[in-house]
Amino acid sequence: MLSVALSKGKMFDDSVQLLRRAGLLHRELVAESRQLAVEDGPFRFILARARDVPTYVEYGAAQLGMVGKDVLLESPDSGVAELLDLGFGYCRFVLAGPPQARGWEARSGKLRVATKFPRMTEEFLARRGKSAQIIVLHGSVELAPALGLADLIVDLVSTGRTLRENGLVELESLAEATARLVANPVSFRLRAREVATAVAALRTALGREGDGR
């Protein structure tokens, strides 16, 4: 039995559809269900919070997982193997601020940057050689500049609408992210055949050549 951890939330429907197209999932799977583990043929599907998926896979509670690259970038030490780009769930990390924040790099004085993604933010600022105070929020990051809480924000956007509605403009694109198939580094070697079969089915469903990985 292979356990597959699926992210509830925005990627859930796409994950389920892909699994169906690949012929790996036949049973009903509902994100709001109270049943958090569903067995289907040789698989057990585990419904988890997106941020917990790398942890499940890292500790081997699930052998495979489907999760956004954005989540993986925030937990880079999890050591999971990334096997496939699933294509859906596209989003970008951007640095944004009010229009007058253009030319932020030239500004003197210490910047305050609000974000839900302290690691990404810290790494980006270090690359630019800017020191800043990072303010960690858990939601509504777009409000921070208007409230005087921060000068800039680092956030995930898919269309950019939320930014515009809050009077913010994109200053830089830090990274792009799509959904990934991840595997426990030991399982994908110890149970190579089962994992390879699942990966080949997903590849075919994604319309890429089945190279058998």
- Chain residues that interact with other proteins, rule: CB under 8 A: 58-60, 77, 79-85, 180, 184-186, 188-190, 192-193, 196, 211-213
How far is residue 197's CA from residue 2's CA, in Å, rounded to a whole number? 11
80, 54 Cβ separation under 8 angstroms = yes
C-beta neighbour count of 105 within 10 angstroms = 11
List the one residue out of 150, 164, 81, 90 whose CA is nearest residue 118: 150
- Kindly give the pairing relationship between strand 64-68 and strand 81-85: unpaired
What lies within 8 Å, CB to CB, of 120 at 6+ separation is 73, 74, 93, 154, 174, 175
How far is residue 98's CA from residue 61's CA, in Å, rounded to a whole number? 44
Q: Helix/strand/coil (H, E, C) string of 95-129? A: EEECHHHCCHHHCCCCEEEEECCHHHHHHHHHHHC
